[in-house]
Structure 1
């Protein structure tokens, strides 16, 4: 049965007011109460790092490779995460705001209590990721790949999901509100999702295709 009731908003990250400046990330590093402000960390490659109670502002992390990373109580704003690849990693109680995330990949991992707001997340990869109690708000998610993802605790508000892939995703309880749903793939996996009435028309052609229905013009 589809889940019902209001979706709980993600818990806010607990980031202390007093933070210690940092400028690099190394393998097996544990970073607590740090601030990365205006740093050039593009192409960083690190395994088994931990960030807790940290703030990342105006920092370039594009093209980075993270393995078994654990980020908890983190705020990331006005930064570039384009083409960042994270595998077997977790993001818990995090807010990511006004960031460039084209080609961002967080596959086979976990997002819990995460808010992505006003971010460019097109061509992103969320394959086989468990996304619980998380919110995508005002994001460009064109052609994002959610294949096999667990989206039962995800909410999408005012997002552009043109061409997004949802095949094999679990979406019972997911919510989509005021979103662009043109050319969505894997629409048959959206069973149990709550879609706002103004958005459902955009799914009509995708639903017809999934059911093998030919849509013809009126004579």
Structure 2
């Protein structure tokens, strides 16, 4: 899952980025409204966390511009502007949630999880495919009640494929979902992660198949 944080308070943004990346999300950050408007017009995000009091372009104008372009990323407004009128205006312009500063970190993390779950079209935090289950809250995979030990990048790749099980996911979409602006991930690296995942999933009856020239998809292995 890829998140864009739009926050001009450098100290706060650094703290939130650390929390979100610690939860395994790919996170980008910009500090002004004009940059937010530009990057959301060229990059795909699952969630945008948006301050309103921004230099160069107000957060509500960023939101209005996003929705005018039919940008369907979930938007969580995180702001000190807490009047009822501001909240209603933000939600009417297309925000999915609205939090007022100062805020509780645990509640913030929970709201992020809920929005990402909705973005994936899920009602429950537990998703199963074959004998493997994925807990969106803890971001852990398990089989037969036993947690699978999967390194971070492979886990991120499996999450993307798992949430779209049976459907082909393009290599470019995988790279974009797994990386932030300052990351570098090649198609060859993705192939290596896929190879490792196949070995990890085989004992549980799942595999990652290649759609030649397009990407990959998660599938159930034929019964022996």
- Does the TM-score normalized on the shorter chain lie above 0.5? no
| Higher share of residues assigned helix | 2
| Higher share of residues assigned strand | 1
Normalised to the residue count of structure 1, the TM-score between the two structures is 0.29
Kindly indicate whether structure 1 or structure 2 has the higher relative contact order, using CA contacts under 8 Å at least 6 residues apart: 2
